[in-house]
Structure 1
């Protein structure tokens, strides 16, 4: 998972001659030394990023899309063979039209999908592991600002994201209001709530209690903390989905060929919903690093746009020049619609919350984002 190879050096001075890669192809920016919000230092941070479309002459058509907790920069397919997580929303002729806009997405620092994270190597060639600095959403944004500088983007036409991505774009607007024209926040809040922190703490504990976690320094070991990461994913996925959807899809039905009731030993069968959670856990374990899950989860736990500004209200008061679009999923039980309503009303220029109607819960920001197409076309991408 190390990202210190195949790095192209870009900076603001060379941005004029930047040779943009094909749409949807991962590239890297070496940003240099960085001091984290809480004081940790890395000698060189690399950001993995992807772009789609063409930046116009005055760089006024740039759109930044921020991924969620276990997402990555691959928003849309482009010329890649891999489907993107918002393929129906971003691309030629779509809501975020890459024939009109230059779209950028970066993997968050601390992750494992192209940017420097715990699995990356230090100057001595050893994984950072447990020594990786505590990372915040503000750190993510400050580093992404270096990417914008390197690409020659002084002001984003729009910053857009859902869930943790929504937290990141809101932080973008608070941290750099002069660099954001439009901000689209979907299924996210201005600060993490006690319940959201509680759910996240249980996930973090599941990883740390795995015997193979080894205090975060497991990369050279035979076994990885896969069981703990899988359990964390199970806990998280329950919060991403709504009870009615789980009931309709699975109810109390047994997994085919298995008998969850009546077994006299621990090797009983499974309910279909158990098999579903096992499947979700297995998928994540196959592609994600446990340390990165911890780093990004704790970044989201610490999310508070008011930190450094005195209060959330004072931070939001900085946003009078930013045009906002706030959306919620009506069945969300992780980021409650009422929290989006509070955010929308607390803005200097209050806005109406636009709803995604979906039975599945929080993940509706991924599966049903196209419902916002008409409203976004009218208010943001006109």
Structure 2
């Protein structure tokens, strides 16, 4: 049996007289067999997409074979809170046009989605449509990618090795707090069904978590604004029926273009002996600030370190456009820590510790 053997992009391809073709560790059966004439192996066109990763279109009228590149996948990489990269992996280089809008980037690529890949399943593409080749008219795949308000700078480049188109979203941040947008979220304080008011946890003496964390957030707000930062408060008063619920707070944050989100809470336990500081985050981009603010709070209040914890609380999980943390500096259910947080001087010290963490974070 005669075998045509060669390497394509590091993978060994074997084509014999049967209808089975081997490429690397993959094998594929086709409907037609190769034809051998005068010791020349002629292979069916249906082999081409599998062997060299491109679409085949045969123009019978003009006896022309057109080969078009494939788009294999859209890869997403969030390098940091200031940089996101979308990479379109192609089988060969392809021409494309681009259009940059305020909320998206549109690429019109002379290539076709690979038949074994459903690009629409990829979260990176908010809209993908394809116009197939028609004779000499090139195919066009239109890919529309989301553009984050937090990352206003866009760069689009292409590469030969490997064949790809890269879209990079970045934000050039100047150091310091001036013009940074910080969202402060005093926990609880909203009505359920317009009837039940959420005060959060209640301390042994009757202190409401919602009232105390609002006071702390306002103190942080004053410090930030004095330093030139812009502050968005998810609520500014107690017992207000217009206070947004958790879903609305997430929407406010993700659509704000802000640089940092902090949710203020006080912890509680069924045991009044439990005490200490906990800080919560979910996305990796939030860990750096979580570590910084956690350390500042413990040093300021001299509390027990109960750890930085990865948990899927809504305001840290669903807010994904900036670093977001949830603070639990003290246990309001602990009589001693309730007494501490009811002290105005302690609340000011806590606010200053949180402010110091924010300031240090944006000056690194």
Looking at CA atoms only, which structure, 1 or 2, has the larger radius of gyration? 2
Return the TM-score normalized by structure 1.
0.26
* TM-score normalised according to structure 2 size: 0.27
Richer in strand (by share): 2
**Highest relative contact order (Cα 8 Å, sep 6+), 1 or 2?**
1
